[in-house]
């Protein structure tokens, strides 16, 4: 479906970005808004960065690794998370008195580890990711969607309930059970 966009990206034709915007802007914006929240300025800057990354790295896209749509969603998610970290750091510097509070609330930044600095940690991380992918692959489609919405796209209970036509209590209950199930399977998978 997106062969035309990929071909234009490889030819460095600016029409490729116009096609991306035409077909996928709503999806990309939805992901960015879910992660960044309400600030239209921040969302707009994030989306512009996404388009730049698609343009810059479009020649590296590989059909064998993922669909073009999946590749763009990953770029958008990662860009939004990086932007969230950047905005958090900027806010910390503007108000040094609230620096400790901001660190506690910004779990994304405090949990980030640069694995590139230590190849052994990188290999362990890669094995952990593969184990987690295997565990998630075993889930039913609806369960996998719940997990991805909550932990990959960072949607809240209300957003998930509306999108999946469930009650908020049902979403919270199901997420809780799935976390336990995934943790148990993941520990077995990693122990292999």
Question: pLDDT tens-digit profile of 19-29?
Answer: 989 999 999 99
Which residue shows structure tokens 């989306």?
47
Per-residue pLDDT at 156 exceeds 60: yes
Q: What is the average per-residue pLDDT within 171-188?
A: 86
Model confidence over 86-122: pLDDT tens digits? 776 666 666 554 544 444 444 444 444 444 555 565 6
Q: What is the CA radius of gyration of the chain?
A: 19
Measured between alpha carbons, how far is 14 from 124 in angstroms, rounded to an integer?
40
Which residue shows structure tokens 């998630």?
136
Measured between alpha carbons, how far is 133 from 48 in angstroms, rounded to an integer?
30
For residues 31 and 78, is the Cβ–Cβ distance under 8 A? no
Q: How far is CA 20 from CA 11, 62, 129, in A?
A: 15, 17, 29
Q: Which of 94-98, 124-128, 162-166 has the highest mean pLDDT?
A: 162-166
Q: Which SS3 state, helix, strand or coil, does residue 4 take?
A: helix
């Amino acid at each position: 479906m997106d062969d035309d966009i990929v071909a234009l990206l490889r030819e460095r034709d600016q029409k490729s970005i116009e096609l991306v915007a035409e077909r996928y802007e709503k999806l990309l914006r939805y992901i960015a808004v879910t992660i960044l929240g309400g600030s239209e300025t921040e969302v707009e800057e994030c989306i512009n960065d996404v388009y730049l990354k698609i343009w810059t790295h479009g020649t590296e896209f590989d059909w064998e690794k993922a669909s073009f749509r999946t590749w763009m969603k990953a770029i958008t998610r990662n860009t939004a998370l990086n932007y969230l970290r950047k905005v958090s750091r900027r806010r910390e510097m503007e108000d040094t008195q609230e620096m400790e509070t901001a660190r506690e609330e910004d779990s994304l930044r405090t949990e980030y580890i640069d694995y590139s600095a230590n190849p052994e940690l990188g290999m362990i991380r890669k094995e952990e990711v593969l184990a987690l992918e295997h565990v998630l692959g075993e889930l039913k489609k609806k369960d996998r969607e719940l997990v991805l919405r909550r932990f990959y796209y960072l949607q809240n209970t209300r957003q998930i309930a509306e999108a999946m036509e469930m009650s908020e209590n049902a979403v919270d209950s199901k997420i809780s059970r799935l976390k336990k199930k995934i943790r148990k399977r993941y520990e077995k998978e990693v122990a292999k």
